[in-house]
Amino acid sequence: GNSVTQMEGPVTLSEEAFLTINCTYTATGYPSLFWYVQYPGEGLQLLLKATKADDKGSNKGFEATYRKETTSFHLEKGSVQVSDSAVYFCALSHGGSQGNLIFGKGTKLSVKP
Amino acid sequence: EAGVAQSPRYKIIEKRQSVAFWCNPISGHATLYWYQQILGQGPKLLIQFQNNGVVDDSQLPKDRFSAERLKGVDSTLKIQPAKLEDSAVYLCASSPRGDRGAPQHFGDGTRLSIL
C-alpha cells in the first residue's frame, strides 16, 4: 500500500544552519506530494506541494523537489530561524477523486538562537 | 477568508462515555475530511465526504465511530462508547475539491483525553 517514511526526530539546529528533512514514499502511479507544518498549539498548515515528477515546491525559504527515480521529496532550507521550530509532516495524496492524505510520522525541529 | 472551525478544543471523558466533535469547513469547500492524530504519529484519515456523501470511510471503526455531514456543510464526528485508545487529536480539514492535487486546510483540532 501507499506509505510515507520521514527521518526520525527531533532535529536540533542553531539559527542560520542548513536544514534537510528526508522523506521517501511508496506509491503506485503518480502521487502528489506535500509538506505540512504544525507550529506549537496550532493546526496543520500547508507549506509546499508538488504534483508531478521534477516539480519543485517552495514557500517561506523552504523547498522540496519531487524525485520519482528515488521516490523522495526531501525538505530543505538554507538558513533556519528560531520561528521555524515546529513539527514537519511529509504526505502524499493518490487516487483519482479521493484526495485523502497519507502522512509520515512527523519530524520535530527545534532551532536554537 | 475564515478558516476551518472546530469545537470543542479540548474534551476529557471517561471510557465507555460518548463524545461528539463539530466542524465547520471553509465556505464553498465541497470536500471534508476527518483525521485522527495519535500522539507522536501523523494524522490518519477516518472519513472523507464529498458534499453530503461519503467517499471513503474504510478506516472508520464503524462499531463505535459515526460521522455525518448534513446539507453538505457542517459535520459532526461521534464516538460511542469511547475506549482508552481513542485518546488523540481529531482534525477536520476541507478542500475546494477532492482530487489528489488539491491542498487541504486544517482546523486546530479537538484534543480528546479518555480516562
Q: What is the pLDDT of residue A40?
A: 87
- Among A51, A93, A104, whose Cβ lies nearest the Cβ of B42? A104
Q: What mean pLDDT is predicted for residues A96-105? A: 79
Closest listed residue to residue B11, CA positions, set B115, B114, B103, B112:
B112
DSSP alpha helices (H): ranges in chain A? Answer: none
Poorest-pLDDT segment among A77-91, A97-111, B13-27: A97-111
Q: What is the pLDDT of residue B94?
A: 94
Question: Are the C-beta atoms of B52 and B30 separated by less than 8 Å?
Answer: no
Confidence of residue B101 (pLDDT cuts 50, 70, 90): confident
The tens digit of pLDDT for each residue in B20-57 reads: 999 999 999 999 999 999 998 999 999 999 988 998 89
Asked if B45 lies within 8 A of A46 by C-beta distance, the reply is no
* DSSP 3-state of B85: helix
B29: which 3 cell numbers?
A: 469547500
Q: What mean pLDDT is predicted for residues A9-23? A: 96
Asked if A97 lies within 8 A of B103 by C-beta distance, the reply is no
Q: What mean pLDDT is predicted for residues A43-59? A: 94
Average pLDDT score, chain A = 93
Which residues in chain A are closer than 8 Å to B43, comparing Cβ atoms? 44, 89, 101, 103
Most confident of A29-43, A70-84, B43-57: A70-84
Closest listed residue to residue B65, CA positions, set B88, B42, B41:
B88
The tens digit of pLDDT for each residue in B51-74 reads: 889 988 999 999 999 999 988 899
